[in-house]
Amino acid sequence: MSRTQSGAKFIPLRVAVVTISDSRTPDNDASGDYLAGSLQEEGHKLAHHKIIKDDKYVLRAEFSALIIDEEVDVILSTGSTGLTGRDVAPEALTPLFDKTIEGFGELFRSASIPDIGAATIQSRAFAGLANGTVIFCVPGSPGACRTAWEDVIRPQLDSRTRPCNLANLMPRFLER
């Protein structure tokens, strides 16, 4: 089990929050608002907060811009990871990855079992690295965002988490 090392230095990261949806607006984006608020409460910087429609090519263009933005270390996205015809995030974004983080989806689904049981098989939550940027893609419900943040993402973005975390690895992601 991971733990926070006392006395270790916290490294604030620059995080973009993206809600993928055709129906969410700034007035009703509870999931995006939760992620943005949670990362700021933790001490990270909100670099961008936007809503992007469910369109494969729009997603690729918008995420490509964030991936090359030197002011973005991490992208947290919510929505478009299910099984309906409009859920296209995995197909749109995984081609942009240099590496996938298979363990994220596995751990997220495992953490979701107490809340939603076998329905967790319907989640296609995924993560990867692109141009040194960590990208987490989670379902669109506030409960799923809370589970992903609390159980998986928050400790991995905290440089004090032991035995290891993504924050401390970031300088090495672009090594050749």
Cis peptide before 12 (omega within 30 of 0): no
pLDDT one-digit tens code per residue, 25-48: 999 999 999 999 999 999 999 999
Q: Give how far the C-alpha of residue 44 lies from the chain's centroid of Cα atoms, to the nearest Å.
A: 14
DSSP 78: E
Instruction: Read off the tokens for 144.
Output: 């799923």
Alpha-carbon distance 26 to 150, whole Å?
Answer: 23
Establish if 46 belongs to a structural domain.
yes
The tens digit of pLDDT for each residue in 109-152 reads 999 999 999 999 999 999 999 999 999 999 999 999 999 999 99
Question: 54: which 2 tokens?
Answer: 């469910």
Dist. CA 133–CA 130, nearest whole Å: 5
Residue 65: domain span: 18-159
pLDDT at 5: 66
Residue 147: the pLDDT is 98
Q: Please, which residues bridge with residue 162 across strands?
A: 3
> DSSP letter at 151?
I
Helix, strand or coil, per DSSP, at residue 17: strand
Residue 3 lies in a domain: no
Domain harbouring 122, CATH code: 3.40.980.10
In a domain, 12, yes or no: no
The per-residue pLDDT of the chain, averaged, comes to 95
Question: Cα 53 to the chain's mean position, in Å?
Answer: 17
pLDDT score at 8: 82
The CA–CA distances, whole Å, from 125 to 34, 67, 88, 141 equal: 17, 19, 12, 12
Tens of pLDDT, residues 57-97: 999 999 999 999 999 999 999 999 999 999 999 999 999 99
Q: Into how many domains does the chain fold? A: 1
Predicted structure pTM score: 0.95
